[in-house]
Each structure stands twice: as structure tokens, then as C-alpha cells.
A = this chain, B = another copy of it.
């Protein structure tokens, strides 16, 4: 059996590998799991011994199929629990992450599959992230940061890049909800901030905020 710690490292490596295109470095992992590089090195040896990662000193790591499978299973559990908390227990989308960090380590395949059924097989979690199915199949998001959109027009708010409480609460305050149509009215040259409309309301968003808002083109 894998420890919670091992599961957290695998999840971190998986997450980092999505943006870095496969190879993940020691320092990135240390940052992600909130520990020191020396500690990470020890763990990489262990994960490598268990054949969850390919590891060569100084060269970074990649997940093996076995490691990826475990990581995705943890992600599945995390996101299903988040849906449960929001849909059934009245939590807000900015309140669920820390609890899901704990619940994702509960071990029982039957539990998680029954939960999935109880929630009626949701495709996305409260932050717009896709939920892997019981076979580990996950349809990665095709959405892009609002800050990267070059042309004015209609978009759908489909997810967030930054999952921090502060950012999520800020979005709630603006009134934006997942699935809303966003119209990109203008991109300000000066500071790359953007003017958008949602529900006939106009507002400005900083470049920083726009980087963390994911949209789908329609």
C-alpha cells in the first residue's frame, strides 16, 4: 500500500507534468508539496523503486503508467468529493479544497464508485476540472486562459487556473459563475487588462486575473 505522502507526491508530479510536458524537476515538486528539495530526492528514490516514476539523478522524473494511474485515481477521488461537498453539503467552491485533500486518501474503490453513482456521474468538479472515470479515462480540458485570447467576442467561462480561496472568493464577488457567457470587449494595451461583459454587466479584469480564468471559444 502507498502512504498518503507517496500519493501526494504522485499527484504533484502528475499535475506538474501536465504543464511541463512530461518531465518534472525536483525543485518544482518541492514547491508543490511544500517541502525541501532534499526530502524530495529521498522520495523520488522510493517512488522509483516502486516503479511509479522514471528517475535519473539530476535529470528530473516522468511518471510510469503505473504511477500515472495512481495519480489519476487520487485526482478522481479529490474531484468527486468536491462535487459532493458543493452539491450535497452546501459548501461554496472556495471552501472544499482542503477537505478534499483529506478525503482523496480514503481507500475504497467501492466507496468512490458508489459516490460517483450517487452524484450521477458528474463530468466536472466545482472548479470546472474534468473528473476521470473509474477506468482512469480523463478528457483533458481544451480551454485557454482569458488572457491569451486575441480577438474580441463571446466566450464561455469554463474553469480556473488558480484554485486559491482568495481568487475564488474574488470571482464569486464579481458574480461570475462557471458556464457563464463572457464577452471580451477590449484588451487594454497599457497593462494588458481586459474589459468584459457578463450578464449585461461590464467590468475590468487585471491581466493577472485574466490569466487565471479559463474560457472556451464558441
B88 touches A118 (CB 8 A): yes
Contact among B98, B106, B110 for A102, CB-based, below 8 A:
B106
Q: Count residues on chain A whose CB falls below 8 Å from chain B CBs.
A: 18
Contact (Cβ within 8 A) A89 B114: yes
Which residue of B85, B108, B114 contacts A111 across the interface (Cβ within 8 Å)?
B85
Using an 8 Å CB-CB cutoff, how does the interface string of A80-110 with B read, 1 for contact, 0 for none? 0000010011110001001100110011101
Among A99, A111, A115, max chain B CB count under 10 A is at A111
Q: With a CB–CB cut-off of 8 A, which chain B residues contact A111?
A: 85, 89, 99
Query: By the criterion CB–CB under 8 Å, are A91 and B114 in contact?
Result: yes
Most chain B beta-carbon neighbours within 10 Å: one of A89, A90, A91, A95 = A89
Give the complex CA separation of A98 and B89 in angstroms: 23
- Chain B, residue nearest A4 (CB): B4
User: What are the residues of chain B within 8 A of A98 when measuring CB–CB?
Assistant: 108
Given A85-B111, A103-B106, A106-B106, list of 14 further CB < 8 A pairs? Answer: A88-B118, A89-B111, A89-B114, A89-B115, A90-B114, A91-B110, A91-B114, A95-B110, A98-B108, A99-B106, A99-B108, A99-B111, A102-B106, A102-B107
